[in-house]
Chains A and B, each alone.
Chain A
């Protein structure tokens, strides 16, 4: 048996070693991504590898703007993610409020049905939804990426849990004053549930900003592409892939999310864990 102090010290050392080791594994791809995006082409595969090149250049970023109008691509990605998020938040807040603060016939069954829809894998609806979008002439537009997910089962569940904790007194007072039901939602409920909406909105925004499959299926012309799709399309013939440009796009796609995440980290984590722990 080791003396108690030594064994405690060993446990601490092991714990820090594991934490630092895993953190390093997590950070390495980011470092390599940024480093590659700044290297001149002939240093990308240099042996031994160069981490910070003395010849660092922003050529890859300039090339991206000149050849691919990357600012336009950022705009596309933002427009889709922003409109999808706002629409989703509105319908989820409204639906969550409906389930949390009212009693109506069939409520339990409707709610169970809502939760049940979450187990259906998207592979089953993939083909028919594509056909619907084609018949609506929505291929190569942003609509397929915004409309079908506008009312999200998880989001309604999340907002219902959140809204249930709001007290009824304010609502009842407003009703006595003769406020309409929608006014009560818009003026009284919405400001109170704003923190919950922030958590949910961050998840929605990230999901949409990072979405790959949707844009891959529905966006056809390069000027409509989103950031993940551009990264994919930069893959060249074997051995000719422009890695510096590809990594530059990756850096660009990460930065806005990184800033948002670092600011709202607590809300973000709340949103992610709420479904797992309360559900």
Chain B
């Protein structure tokens, strides 16, 4: 059917229902009550009606077709207190609305379910919200880093300093041992994949051989890194099951609900930002300085000293770390957005180009993206929103983390003392690590210069939302919402190690080319109905929502490993030894939910109850429904502690799940190996089998707390205590080896995490020329294994000789144990006495911090602004295995420092610090356990708003321009002797972080930015 241009509006008008016989138009302006400045973007609604409008740049608004009777207008704007204004029939002039500031956003609507929310002042959960103005202070590659230190209870750590992400978010401590540890990310209603796909660099590093067969040491990036933080309007962080239950079987680790920017009524707003900056190495390990040839000969054999140019009085010294990671290439980011619209159509379009230059040659991060968010009114009852984001990221990651082949930069440096010259020869080739042996044939400067490790991601994230307001009356409203979303990306990992690399001939196959292509498709479909019933004069409103959600996640990873490259070609078919690998995953799930929310007692009491039922193909019984209920209540006491104060008590309970990973329900025979081309089907060594009733982990969380606003809204305190009980943990039961299987995945055991978190905000000074806003967050938690249906077991890391985690009933879930030698007799519970010198495995640390704290301030002095944010972690331990490697190589800076008193060890006498540390290898794992406490200056920004007169002269009226200087991770205070106490060799892990093996070195970044609003 062809529709003529006029048909659609008429049709839509017809759909809009009967019009009142006579209507009128209301106009008005919205201003800031303190400054009198016009406010744009305020939402103006006719209460109980369908008419709504947004204020324009000059604060004006126009409401058409208002019934010809007295009406009440509701006026709302984020950051301001809402107001109701009654407009009698006889009033004909413009309506003046003055809104008062609401610095803690008590009236902001916060998500409590699918497409429903309540005002923050009534909220029964501690949901943290971070808005766009808090996200733009200092640029970061990925969104999670923007949240560091800003969300109480979210422990956010960077896995390494590599450009392009790899960041872990853990909400409220430990929720699982083996299962997923990352929160669920929902962007404009679409579940966005945060999967981390390994680059397959393991084919070169051989890190995951022996005891760690999975590709977890590839310094992989979790893909939420693709999202452009600058497009985000706000982030709501649902930290535990009590808040996230309605998201069901995947919500145990919390849910991060991200809303991107939308257009507003009014003329087109153009915003542009240009940033220039650079990254620079922020910490070095240092390397042992050799005094003379005798010291070298003693350490590496006779004649080595002379061979490397040492004399009886001196040795050459090369700062290899500086040579490797001392680059400061120009980095830049260009952002532009345009938004606007009218009452029917609103749009937000943005584009960005970003380049982070890496501190090591051939490393860096690029992102380019475009976004279009469109909202279209189809008549007065139907709204269609379409969000589309197309983006490309390219990360050049370098070669870092653990290896078993002496190829990773910092592993090689552990065996290359400071006197070895690694620089280029005059002809451009790199000097060999001579003499070799004793030094390994691996020159990290050459590796960095000639090899590449590139990760390209092309991604499209698109969602459509159709909302039909079927009923909108004084007493009730009924909305149907259909939402569909698609998240597709292709990740291409291309790694190239040319044959002339010094380490390349080691396996007899010169040159390695690795190509991996991965496709990930997430599809979501929601159908939701929301009914709101607020009978006039009855003093309550009830919101009922119900719906169904279908999700489908499909991942296909294809890897090719090519070795022995003919002519040094990087194409994989130029290799004589080609290995291919394919891994597919598909999970389908269906969820149903129902929620009831009642606000009563003069909007003081909020009661919520809901239930979610989930079925998923990841469970052994795909048809079985798992139920996740929730309930919450809050009561607020206005003016309890003085005029203008608010006090709210709240409590919430909820359950959520963490489903098995794809494939865990199966007992596979391996079909991907052969011998001489003869096909093979085998029970492979280390085969895992799934329990026949495998099901999701279940978290039951109770949280309670209070929120307080004092001093007329200038102080805000939120305090929350919670307890999470996780049962049906997905545990690995080690099977006795003679069964032929290594492990079984089954549900069992329980753990408990208790914690407290607080957020305090103070508007200390609020003067026209000087303002000081201070805020701080605090979080503390402790976990305990309360029941373990298997014998206590060790997991993670590299075994007890280097430190591993041990899980035992009634002890911490984050306890690190390791080999130790008794220095005094030890009496065991059964009465046996172990003599001094006995080898034992016992606690040598804990990977959970005592607390995390963030604090910062925003100062405004006239046109200048100063913002800073500190992130403090107190306690927790890290295994510094980089130091162990350095000790093996004898290059730790303090290695040869003499001990004040020689220490006898066996038949030997230990005389040096390094010798003593190393002598404990395998017997005193604690020698390499260090504190991971740190205080980091995450963000510091100095801004200057250009005076209107200047701006007007250059750009014209009603324009704004801002200059800023900012820095990220400017300094770190830590007793840790490694590069960075945040690192994780194994990437994102529920528990097994805190292992430092040759990571990418950390950097600080500096930026100069110009923001212009046109």
Chain A complexes with chain B:
no
- List chain A positions with a Cβ less than 8 A from chain B: none
- List chain B positions with a Cβ less than 8 A from chain A: none
